[in-house]
Structure 1
Amino acid sequence: MNHESEWRLAKGKQVAALYAKNPKLRALVVAGSVGRGWADEWSDIELDLFWNEPPTDDDRKSAIEGVNGTIAYYFPLEGDEWSDAYFVDGLKFEISSFLVSTLEQYIADVIERCDDTVEKHLRLAALQNSIVLHGDELIQQWRAKISNYPDALAEKIIRDNVDFGGWNSVEFAFARGDLLMAFDLMTKVQKQVMMVLLALNRMYMGHPRGKWLRHVADGMQYKPPRLAERMMYALREGSEQSAREMHGVIEETFALVEQYFPQIDLTDIKRDVRFRRARISA
């Protein structure tokens, strides 16, 4: 854990102790970059709270008042989550509250029914990559259940993401200077590649926009060589050459899928990705 994570964690423990006094609270973890030990000077502190029954305003605001926090936002129940955020001495705390029964339903949906809903996978990734500050027994039970990543779920996610439609237009988009189109296709396909590789590695998606690329890639066993370096190069360089480098990542991803999921037929998908429009002029 780096220094920026360590001192933020210490602050998080102080706030967590106030929430933990409430008998309705079953468990609490530090999630996000602090929970993973990856924080930097821009990082906030994310606390995920799991309640036995719906928290009241008093339940949620008592800790804020206890640290003289300045509320940035405060939302009622939206979907399955109560969310709020506040500042303490300039440091932002983001709080996500869920019922214990909600998380148990998420776990059953993903593990038993191969549900690939993004929000559910985000929550499971946070459970796996967090620091427990309250309710360790429950969190460890949940972690044991979600460690059994189903093969059928991996196959479903790969099938849903491995068709990199539009990739065959990236090189000519850079060549003609259509940068908005080129980068739109580049980022779309990079996110799909990461989804395929996450599934191959039985890893839950930790962020919907591809945050922590280097760290996540480092944690993968099955991946193209120098994955993060090559993907970052493709974004920073933004050229036909960098698109060809990213194409190499795609081809190597195809090879991994064929090695570990030979039942997935990539023939048509590879043909489409490899197609290049000819330059024609009179």
Structure 2
Amino acid sequence: MDHAHFRRTAVAPVLAAYAATPGVDAVMLGGSTARGDADRWSDVEVGVFWARPPTLAERLAPAPSVRPGTPEDDDPPWYDYLELDGLAIDVEHALSSKVEETLGLVLEACIPDPDGLTLLKGLVDGSDIGGPRPELVHMWQRRASTYPRKLAIAIVERDGAIDKFWRCQMLAERDNPVLLAREFLRVTNQLLTVLHAVNGCYTGHVLAFKRLDAMEAELSHAPADLAQRLRTVFAAPPPEATEVLRQLVEATYDVIEAELPEADVTRLRTRFRTTRRPIE
């Protein structure tokens, strides 16, 4: 089964219903269904852009199974959920004016706001754009098509500051796999956020990739054998896993030095290498 095609077909009436709602500027299909890499576990993401704040009734009108996820009087964005024969659909409502403001913040001021980066990721992936003003979304996508170098540097200098790596050795010696896994995840998330920035790929709160090998193929500038080394981090015995992750971070700093020499990699390396010695 082509899971993306199936989901695109199933959600088409919902997109059309939102597009016909008064006050809507545009609607957009997002996430893995729009990218074409949906699998049997995938839900569907829909973006609805409004010229004015919608009422709760307007948000719920397109389908009888819509459930409000955000109260009407909360600030945007607003989230709703519905199911079509078991298929979960997540709907995010945003004001077009707020999108404009956010794009200015991230693309022009180069402030790595997580919400703004999540929005940009959704816009870049978006497809099946409709509504009375689809040109708005096309314009936003054109603006986002050039990843600002200053934004990449800002993300690298924020998320590349990986500190207290010595905790991994401490937790391995304490035989605490739960907290060790949390540390591995923290460091890995920072590492992958940095690599996506170096490669001009937007990421937000959650790194949006389903398959490690496909992600590696999209990152032209990255440590060798990235996907397999990441698997080793979460599968090997703790001492080996810690060393593999340490080498990955150092290799990522090498990539930054080669691709973004304006970034202060010396500061990042110093912070990463700072250790705490145990008292014998």
Using structure 1 for the length normalisation, give the TM-score: 0.89
Q: 1:146 aligns to what?
A: 144
Distance 1:238 1:80 in 2: 45
Q: How does 1:107-146 map to 2 (within 5 A)?
A: 107-134=103-130, 135-146=133-144
Moved more, 239-248 or 153-162: 239-248
Q: 1:81 aligns to what?
A: 77
Distance 1:217 1:109 in 2: 29
Residue segments in structure 1 that go unaligned for 5+ positions in a row? none
The CA deviation at 1:158 is 0.6
Q: Using a 3 Å threshold, how does the CA distance of structure 1 residues 264 and 133 change in structure 2: closer, same or farther?
A: closer
Q: Using a 3 Å threshold, how does the CA distance of structure 1 residues 268 and 159 change in structure 2: closer, same or farther?
A: closer
Residue segments in structure 2 that go unaligned for 5+ positions in a row? none
Decide whether the 8 Å contact of 2:68 with 2:80 is kept in 1: yes
Distance 1:18 1:247 in 2: 51
Number of residue pairs matched?
277
Using structure 2 for the length normalisation, give the TM-score: 0.89
Moved more, 174-183 or 140-149: 174-183
Q: Using a 3 Å threshold, how does the CA distance of structure 1 residues 216 and 25 change in structure 2: closer, same or farther?
A: farther
Q: 1:212 aligns to what?
A: 210
The answer on 1:57 being equivalent to 2:45 is no
Q: Which amino acid aligns with 1:139?
A: V
The CA deviation at 1:180 is 2.7
Q: Which amino acid aligns with 1:44?
A: D
SS in structure 2 opposite 1:237? coil
The CA deviation at 1:197 is 0.8
Alignment RMSD, CA only?
2.3
Q: Using a 3 Å threshold, how does the CA distance of structure 1 residues 74 and 92 change in structure 2: closer, same or farther?
A: farther
Decide whether the 8 Å contact of 1:172 with 1:240 is kept in 2: no
The answer on 1:197 being equivalent to 2:210 is no
Distance 2:208 2:35 in 1: 15
The answer on 1:188 being equivalent to 2:181 is no
Q: 2:160 aligns to what?
A: 162
Decide whether the 8 Å contact of 1:198 with 1:204 is kept in 2: yes
Q: Using a 3 Å threshold, how does the CA distance of structure 1 residues 222 and 56 change in structure 2: closer, same or farther?
A: same
The CA deviation at 1:277 is 6.6
The answer on 1:29 being equivalent to 2:25 is no
SS in structure 2 opposite 1:38? coil
Q: Using a 3 Å threshold, how does the CA distance of structure 1 residues 72 and 208 change in structure 2: closer, same or farther?
A: same
Report % sequence identity: 25
Q: How does 1:202-281 map to 2 (within 5 A)?
A: 202-208=200-206, 212=210, 214=212, 215-274=214-273
